[in-house]
Amino acid sequence: MSERFTGSFTQQEPIPEAGIAAALRVLQNGRLHRYNLAGGEAGETALLEQEFAVQTGAKFCLAVASGGYAMATALRAIGVRPGDAVLTNAFTLAPVPGSIASVGARPVFVGVTEGLTIDLDDLAAKADQAGVLLLSHMRGHICDMDRLMEICNGAGIKVIEDCAHTMGASWRGVPSGRHGVFGAYSCQTYKHVNSGEGGLLVTDDEILAARSVMLSGSYMLYERHLAAPGPEVFERVKYVTPNISGRMDNLRAAILRPQLADLATQVGRWNQRYRLLEEGLRGTPGLTLIERPESEAFVGSSIQFLLLDWSAEAVQQVMQRCAARGVELKWFGGAEPVGFTSRYDSWRYVDAPRMPVSDRVLAAIVDMRVPLTFSPADCALIARIIRAEVGAVFQNT
Q: Is residue 12 part of a domain?
A: no
pLDDT at 62 over 70: yes
pLDDT value of position 335: 83
What is the rounded CA–CA span in Å between residue 222 and residue 218? Answer: 6
C-alpha span between 366 and 288 (Å, rounded): 10
Whether residue 357 is found in the same domain as residue 381: yes
Q: Are residues 177 and 29 in the same domain?
A: yes
Query: What domain count does the chain have?
Result: 2
Regarding whether 130 and 22 lie in a shared domain, the answer is yes
My answer on whether 48 and 189 are in the same domain is yes
Burial of 65 (0-12, 13-18, 19+ CB in 10 A): buried
- Please tell me whether residues 197 and 310 are part of one structural domain: no
Domain closes at, from 216, 237, 261: 261
Predicted pLDDT of residue 320: 97
Domain finish residue from 227, 261, 295: 261
Q: Is 343 domain-assigned?
A: yes
Q: Is residue 73 part of a domain?
A: yes
Angle at which helix 44-56 crosses helix 250-261, to 10 degrees, equals: 30
Question: Do both 250 and 289 map to the same domain?
Answer: no
User: What value does the mean pLDDT take over residues 185-210?
Assistant: 98
Same domain for 191 and 325?
no
Residue 52's CATH number = 3.40.640.10
Residue 37 clears pLDDT 80, i.e. is over it = yes
179 and 52 in a single domain? The answer is: yes
Average pLDDT of 208-214? Answer: 98
pLDDT digits (tens, 9 = 90+) for 165-195: 999 999 999 999 999 999 999 999 999 999 9
157 lies in the same domain as 229? yes
Give domain status of residue 36, yes or no. Answer: yes
pTM for the whole structure: 0.97
For residue 372, what are the domain limits? 263-395
Closest CA to 104 of 131, 82, 87: 82
Closest CA to 64 of 237, 217, 208: 217
Q: In this structure, are 139 and 240 located in the same domain? A: yes
Report residue 97's pLDDT band, with 50, 70 and 90 as the boundaries.
very high
At 347-371, the pLDDT tens digits run 999 999 999 999 999 999 999 999 9
Q: Are residues 277 and 192 in the same domain?
A: no
